[in-house]
Structure 1
Amino acid sequence: MKKILLTLSAFALTSGVFAQDVTTTSTETSSSDYNKWSIELNGGLNKYQRPATSGYYTATPSPWNADLGVRYMFNNKFGVKLDAGYYNFTGHDDSMDFDTHYYRANLQGVANLGRIMSFETWTNTIGLLGHAGFGYGQLKSDNADFTDKMFNFMAGVTGQIKLSNRVALTGDFTTILNAKQDYAFDGASTHGGRGFGGILFQGTVGLTVYLGGNEKHADWVAMDSELKKEIDALENRLATIETGLTDSDQDGVADMFDAEPNSMAGVAVDTKGRTIDRNNNGVADELENYFETKYGDKGTSSTAGMDVKSLINDGYVNVYFDFNKTQPTTESASGINFLVKYLKANPSASADVVGYADEIGNADYNKNLSQQRANNVKQILVDAGISGSRLNVVANGEDTSVNKDSKQARQIVRRVTFKIK
């Protein structure tokens, strides 16, 4: 018991200095993340040990005492509180009659032992506080005219059960040592000792009410979990940046800066990843020049438009799928973008979206598979700004034009193609 009292005493003496130190480490968590103030109301039983007059004694334990305190936490582990208490002592059974009253006021340091010992690893509703400090007290008697003034040291432990984020049920056991106590607790005799000669024990139950606008009080905030939240948030931000730095369409512009993240592979883009289309006809200049040179009349843009339409209708623009999948491969998404650009440049045009499957499996299943593929490509076109009324889904089922036993050939026919009208 002496070791415990000495330890808590040392803590009480150094709590002010330590409080200045811990406030400098606020990087653990923001002080605005939790409430710091609370009000504590307790009542219970007591028992004094000495000094006592022979023939005078109280019940064991003796009713009653009450105390009221205000507590402030610097962080989730350490704080201070100011509290005041009242104790009544009366004779019991064969004792000589007496009625005395003890009053005290104390400033104490508080240590959240539950957080220090990481209670949060196994419970979020049970806590433990340690407290110790010095104060001033007075003893008065109804049977004699005196006021015995003294100093005291007190230390104790408080168990907590969290009822809600605003209220906790508490149970406390505290030892009080009085210095310079002249009278016995019963008030019937004087006591000659000038040191810590008075000993009083108290046991109380009560409520702690938490004040403040945040969700939780410092009593129930685990710094490790708060730090983990911050780390998780930073990791999510890094993951977002890493994802944004990928270049899905391999045009040399990271996705997070790419205004057109699905531009056609191999086509020149500007600094924002947009396909270069100086005449705004919906076809990349680089492709347009190629098409005009190879297939059409280089002299007119209308001819170029016809060439693009012919290429689409002749099956040069396709969207491909992996085996038994209904979502297009990332590599072939540029085919969809190609049609998007054409339809936006030609608002009167419409298109059939034609789905195919390979010959592996049941014919009815493959018919349905080709339908789903075409529907999904249509939805991507609609999401890209093309009206659904301009798109007609056609399910052509199995494409039998390739060698069924060739894995590479079957890849070619698992597709969606387009017919511009």
Structure 2
Amino acid sequence: MKLSLAIVALALAVPTVSYAQDSIAVASTDEYPNTFSSGSANVSPFTQKSKRFNDWAISAGVGVPLLQSGDLTSIKNGNGKNLFGYSAYVSIDKAITHAFGINLQYDRGETRQGWFNTKDAAPADLSQVGARTQYDAISLLGDINFSNLLRRVDNKSTYRWALHGYGGIGTIAYRAYQKDATGQRLMTEIKPFKLGSFFGQAGAGVKFKVNRRIDLETRLMYVFTGDDEFDGGGSQYSAINQREEQVSDNFFNATVGVSLKLGKHESHLMWHDPLQEIYYKLDVLANKNQDIEVCKKGDADNDGVCDDWDRQLDTPAGARVDGAGVALDTDLDGVIDLYDKCVTVPGPVENQGCPLTPTTTEPTGPVQESVSNMEGIEFDLNSDRILPSNTPILNNAVNYINSSNGTYTVIGATDTRASDEYNQKLSERRANSVKNYLIKNGVEASKLNAVGRGEKDLKYPECDPATKCPEWKNRANRRVYFEAK
């Protein structure tokens, strides 16, 4: 009976221990935030991979059980002497939140009751009866951390003490022996997982945190057996069981134990105080209260873009600009829209941006090639995504290429940050991204070829890896442009 219960408890415990969680490490010093308070100042989505706290533990302890109500006890009824037994427990503990957990617990022990210890010789008086009960139990307990549940004021200090409450049900198996002057005999035996073997227990405990791995705890539990034969008094209508009216032999169990917290994190979830973490972050925000001065250098060309990030500081008055302060050139012909007489059709500078050969919606003859190199679009850092602001430029490129008999090479480039190998692959992705966009919008695939030149084709060659260039130059180097073959 005892062996079978122990095997069941071990079988339930092994799979749960194997799933103990790990998370982001935190400081273990006395400075806030620390392992005794918030556990981590980092913020991350609450997923299995991003857990910041340990939430599994193994606990074990020993104690002293003493019958509180029964026909052979002394706390309530006085039918005997104060005889103390022994007990031990081991449990697998899972923290669900910072204030609630579930424990799978195995208990084993022996209660002693009556007028004498059954290990001693029985007195000659037959009315003096001694008894002992050996029990094994498995129970599922809810664990409420009252210290975390009731904390309402942030004291910004480490805390090592916590009050816990426990309650749950389980199955108990026992052998009850009775002894008198005629000898010792087995009075009652209950097997586990039978209808009459279910019991409940509840109580409280105080935990002390020794370090990130070890907790010490003392508990006082009250065990309700629901069985009038647990104390060894015999059958329901025996002479001993007629002495008192109660129908349940219950006992107290006082224990001391230790908990081993599992996982690689610095802090356990049951020692986490969310309020301290919130107050700490509020303090950090308050300390960062400072004025941010914008547009320190002004706007020299009055184009609406501060000189701090304006890439073209001498924009002509009246010209429309992009977010970087560069005058717009919709058709990429080298003539800004302010001076371009044909804004959407590329043309040479000497003809004010208009083509030398008039174009119609349906060309009747070959288009004269007047542009061999079209400046392209720019990209965000480490990105090959086409920005919405550049789609008008690409749409105009579609019209121009379709109206031309030539073929074009789509060339991708990067700035000098990152390695040569990474930049080469990034430039190829950028070129292919633009090529795919053009084909998707009507350009014949046979007219296009995509190549990447990495950081070997800089618009501003002075921006080598050893030189710290302004961001607008780095952005200009991150581009795609076209070359006519």
* TM-score scaled by length of structure 2: 0.42
Bigger share in helix = 1
